[in-house]
Amino acid sequence: MPGADDHKQGIGKRKARSDQFFPTPWLASNGSIMTVPNVAKRLKAIQQRGGRFIVIDPRRTETADIADQHLFIRPGSDVFLLMAMLNTLFTESLAKTGHLTNFLVGVDAVHNACKPFTAELAEQRTGIAADSASACS
């Protein structure tokens, strides 16, 4: 559920070093999906701090033009990539819940639901190489 601190995540977080983005024309929309003013400047600032950002989109957009990497994805296959990324986070013990653990319900169910979605399955469905999908997690 969205909270008051959602703006502190992703590109809205001024200290962010790296982000992954999903299909949306960030520059054309000025980052409106997260209400981020001057999104181009913020994305470039991430890069200047040594961070990278990856655009995953079936189209070559303005945002993809300035991204460190643009991964073309088959339209309608996003769920396979997202579930494979979740699977990687769980499988490689990269999902750290920290102080939120006591507030989370259903994490095991999510983990079990994403187990069948491997990077290799995501590659077959999305056209994005398995090693690229794993690296995005």
Q: Does 7 score more than 50 pLDDT?
A: no
Containing structural domain, residue 130 = 78-136
**Same-domain check for residues 93 and 67:** no
If we measure between CA atoms, which residue out of 35, 46, 39 comes closest to residue 68? 46
Across 43-66, average pLDDT: 89
Q: Does 131 score more than 70 pLDDT?
A: yes
Model pLDDT, residue 34: 56
In a domain, 2, yes or no: no
Q: Does 88 score more than 60 pLDDT?
A: yes
Tokens 């983005």 found at = 21
List C-alpha distances in Å: 7 to 54, 70, 110. 19, 24, 24
In a domain, 100, yes or no: yes
If we measure between CA atoms, which residue out of 16, 14, 64, 6 comes closest to residue 38? 14
In a domain, 9, yes or no: no
Residue 107 CA to residue 36 CA, distance in Å, equals 30
**Same-domain check for residues 87 and 67:** no
Model pLDDT, residue 38: 80
In a domain, 1, yes or no: no
The helix/strand/coil state of 61 is coil
In the chain, the number of structural domains is 2
In a domain, 7, yes or no: no
Q: Does 4 score more than 80 pLDDT?
A: no
